[in-house]
Amino acid sequence: MKRKLLQCLRLRQGVSAALSRSCSSLSGRLNQVLTTRKLPLFYDYLHPQPSHLLNATLTDLFPKQQPFVLESRTLPSIKTPLHMAPGHHLVYFPPQVTLSQLLSDGTDVLHSPGDPFNRRLWAGGKVRFPILSGPLLDGSRAVCLETIRDVTVNGLKGEEKIVVSIERRVGVLKERDEEEHDIRRRIWTENEEENGQASVIETRNLIFMREKTQEQLENDKKNFGENNRIIKPPSDAQFRYGIRPNKSLLFRFSALTFNAHLIHLDKIYTQHTEGYRNLLVHGPLTLTLLLTAMQGHLQSRHFIKDIEYRNLAPLYVDEELTVCGKPKTGRRTDAWDVWIEGPEGGLAVRGSVQTEAV
């Protein structure tokens, strides 16, 4: 009996070691390929129009933020420019790819690890604002420099999840033409904690997975009406905004961010290919909602210094969500917990914000 138990233990350890080596080998290969992939520079002009259109889209979602509402009615002039609001960098520097560079689900090839990991989800990330008030929307030419900082592989063989961490650095260009290598040297830093001459630094964590089998999809469809395990959210929120995201909101945000991912646009695809019961709210839209609610609550007393967040559960079109926040327990008022609750009150997005007084 003891011998059999030892044999089973050795077999299990052997299988675990083999799986570990398999994941380690895959992780090493993908790390080598993706972190050395040179991504193109994305140029844009910091005109107020994209930010203005995002404001017009968000205004009805945050009716208490009166100054925000008034600003959204008229396109601001570049002669008296406003600063870019937190999160509005998301509607600048879109992926400048051709139609042939889009995959079948509408995502682009820039960060994809390739077959068989063809499904993509936005897991979360973090954003730092070295220039607290944000860059001026004065029509200046600016650049976004993207690099893949890290790749990790989680899960058993055949069920791997590839986490690709992408860093985006936004900086205003100098008046004279700059060579690409000069731009990279000025804005990018080897140490990701350093700011260089960037005005916004964002890390995006994307998860890539295998396509679902027909059996998995059938099982998903059977459970469309059921909620998964509910994670209890924090209590005693200092602010709460109830929002019901509709198809128009999802379409507008897709258009503003030049995002053709079908899980936000095509219900049939989302149900029959991805196995979700309805269109999904964008990961970057949840980030935008958190930042907009937080900055609106702070008004002009503080600026957001940085935010870190994780998407824990899907949020769906036409289902109520609530954006919440409160000061961290036992901390100064510059540290906040922020989160989004789903329709049943469960935790869907969790984050933390650091602020700085004006």
Place of tokens 């690890």: 113
Q: Quote the pLDDT of residue 18.
A: 40
The CATH number linked to 286 is 3.10.129.10
Domain count, the chain: 1
Q: Quote the pLDDT of residue 224.
A: 79
293-to-64, 68, 283 alpha-carbon distances in Å: 10, 11, 16
Kindly state whether residue 119 falls inside one of the protein's structural domains.
yes
What pLDDT, in 10s, does the model give residues 300-338?
Answer: 778 999 999 999 999 999 999 999 999 998 766 799 999
Kindly state whether residue 326 falls inside one of the protein's structural domains.
yes
Residue 315's nearest CA partner among 246, 217, 239 is 246
pLDDT exceeds cutoff 60 at 15: no
Q: Are residues 129 and 305 in contact, defined by beta-carbon separation less than 8 angstroms?
A: yes
What pLDDT, in 10s, does the model give residues 68-101?
Answer: 444 556 788 888 899 999 999 999 999 999 999 9
* Residues spanned by the domain of 54: 24-357
Kindly state whether residue 41 falls inside one of the protein's structural domains.
yes
Strand, coil or helix: 138: coil
What pLDDT, in 10s, does the model give residues 133-156?
Answer: 889 999 999 999 999 999 999 988
Per DSSP, what are the bridge partners of residue 243?
321
Euclidean distance between CA atoms 82 and 292, whole angstroms = 16
Euclidean distance between CA atoms 202 and 127, whole angstroms = 4
325 Cβ neighbours under 8 A, 6+ residues apart? 237, 238, 239, 290, 293, 294, 297, 336, 337, 338, 339, 353
Kindly state whether residue 12 falls inside one of the protein's structural domains.
no
Residue 340's nearest CA partner among 228, 227, 243 is 243
